[in-house]
């Protein structure tokens, strides 16, 4: 098997991992350049320095919506990717450095899709055929893996449980009022607007509470602060409503969770209890659980995808 190179690209850092089917080695990290030309050049140089050859496979995990037609990436963290074909430009930069064309096209995948593949292949979902993985980070992400394969819908989208006008208009004078915050997708009231850390903070402030970051709100809830408790109660109610509906539709057996809010075990426990109470068929074991591939789920996920395309992952490969 040719060597596999995996990049996980974020707003601050680019991570690199390499593997050959027997495991993935997490090689190193560089800072993400703030300008497109430097971004492509530095990424190509990072690969060259670590031994990348034209016949090797290359996969990229990145936050954002990937255009299935031209490979452009609409990423809030890296807005310069929205109007370019990043995969083709990186391939050209590698050809210029290495003196030969890429043996295969560069695979670019959304980071939530990669996290789902990582958890279904190596993590909390590896014992199950049907996995719906979610990210509760700055915002909300999601993806489904069924029998080892990512489920993809029209335009490459699927598993986007965070979008759609779920939160309805309410009377602001009623207890537990949650505004219809505007979402980056163009709609209002999406779960994405309240399900991540920034959404939790926005809900807390909208209720008339002093501004706090998400960790302080969760800590306050654990310590018995009434304002924080009310915010978390509203948050859990709305999030579990949307997730329960998603699980009734997908039939997923387990929901591994990534992102910053996954580091609050008490919060995940309460979400799990509410979702189990609301779904048609409660699962016999914990359903909403912390993911096991951690901060490097993007690397392990794109590795799992490339392994699958090359003939199937090794089930004993563990991160």
**For residue 315, what pLDDT band results from cuts at 50, 70 and 90?**
very low
Does one domain contain both 169 and 277? yes
pLDDT digits (tens, 9 = 90+) for 47-79: 999 999 999 999 999 987 787 666 677 766 788
153, pLDDT greater than 70: yes
- Report if residue 118 sits inside a domain: no
Does one domain contain both 193 and 270? yes
CA-based nearest residue to 5, from 64, 50, 63, 62: 50
Are 117 and 145 in contact by the 8 Å Cβ rule? The answer is yes
Does one domain contain both 149 and 286? yes
Tell me the percentage of the chain whose pLDDT exceeds 90.
Answer: 74
pLDDT digits (tens, 9 = 90+) for 251-267: 999 999 999 999 999 99
Spatial CB neighbours of 169, under 8 Å, sequence gap ≥ 6 = 180, 189
Does one domain contain both 300 and 286? no
For residues 105 and 277, which has the higher predicted lDDT (pLDDT)?
277
Taking residues 125-143, report their average pLDDT. 95
Supply the mean pLDDT for the chain. 91
The Cβ of residue 213 has, within 10 Å, a number of other Cβ atoms equal to: 13
Does one domain contain both 144 and 269? yes
Does one domain contain both 273 and 302? no
pLDDT of residue 1: 55
Does one domain contain both 265 and 141? yes
Tell me the percentage of the chain whose pLDDT exceeds 70.
Answer: 94
- Report if residue 318 sits inside a domain: no
Does one domain contain both 181 and 253? yes
- C-alpha triplet 263, 163, 10: angle, nearest 5°: 50
The enclosing domain of 287 has a CATH number of: 3.30.420.40
Does one domain contain both 287 and 305? no
**For residue 288, what pLDDT band results from cuts at 50, 70 and 90?**
very high
Number of domains in the chain: 2
316, pLDDT greater than 50: no
Does one domain contain both 176 and 36? no
**For residue 208, what pLDDT band results from cuts at 50, 70 and 90?**
very high
- Report if residue 106 sits inside a domain: yes
- Report if residue 66 sits inside a domain: yes
- Report if residue 180 sits inside a domain: yes
pLDDT of residue 89: 94
pTM higher than the cut 0.85: yes
- Report if residue 120 sits inside a domain: no
Range of the domain at 228: 126-291
- Report if residue 258 sits inside a domain: yes
Does one domain contain both 67 and 144? no
* Least confident residue range of 99-108, 137-146, 273-282: 99-108
Does one domain contain both 140 and 105? no
Torsion of CA 274, 278, 284, 288, to 10 degrees: -50
**Structure token digits, residue 162:** 């965070």
Chain CA centroid to CA 51, Å: 28
- Report if residue 121 sits inside a domain: no
């Amino acid at each position: 098997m040719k060597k596999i190179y995996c990049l996980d690209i974020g707003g601050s850092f680019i991570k690199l991992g390499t593997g050959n089917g027997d495991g993935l080695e997490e090689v190193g990290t560089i800072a993400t350049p703030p300008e497109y030309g430097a971004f492509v050049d530095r990424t190509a140089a990072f690969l060259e320095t670590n031994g990348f050859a034209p016949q090797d496979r290359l996969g990229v995990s990145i936050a954002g919506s990937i255009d299935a037609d031209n490979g452009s990436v609409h990423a809030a963290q890296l807005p310069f990717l929205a109007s370019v074909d990043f995969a083709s430009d990186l391939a050209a930069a590698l050809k210029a450095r290495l003196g030969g064309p890429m043996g295969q096209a560069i695979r670019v995948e959304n980071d939530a899709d990669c996290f789902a593949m990582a958890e279904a292949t190596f993590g909390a979902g590896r014992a199950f055929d049907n996995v719906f993985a979610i990210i509760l980070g700055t915002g909300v992400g999601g993806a489904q893996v069924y029998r080892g394969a990512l489920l993809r819908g029209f335009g490459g989208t699927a598993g986007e449980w965070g979008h759609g006008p779920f939160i309805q208009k309410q009377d602001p004078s009623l207890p537990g009022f949650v505004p219809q915050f505007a979402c980056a997708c163009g709609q209002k009231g999406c779960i994405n607007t309240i399900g991540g850390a920034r959404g939790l903070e926005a809900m807390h402030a909208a209720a008339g509470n002093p501004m706090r970051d998400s960790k302080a709100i969760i800590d306050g809830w654990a310590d018995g602060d009434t304002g924080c408790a009310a915010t978390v109660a509203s948050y859990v109610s709305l999030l579990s409503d949307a997730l329960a509906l998603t699980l009734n539709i997908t039939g997923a057996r387990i929901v591994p969770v990534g992102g910053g809010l996954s580091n609050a075990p008490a919060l995940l426990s309460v979400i799990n209890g509410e979702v189990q109470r609301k779904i048609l068929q409660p699962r016999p074991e914990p359903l909403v659980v912390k993911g096991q591939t951690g901060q490097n789920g993007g690397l392990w996920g794109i590795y799992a995808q490339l392994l699958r395309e090359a003939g199937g992952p090794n089930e004993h490969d563990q991160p």
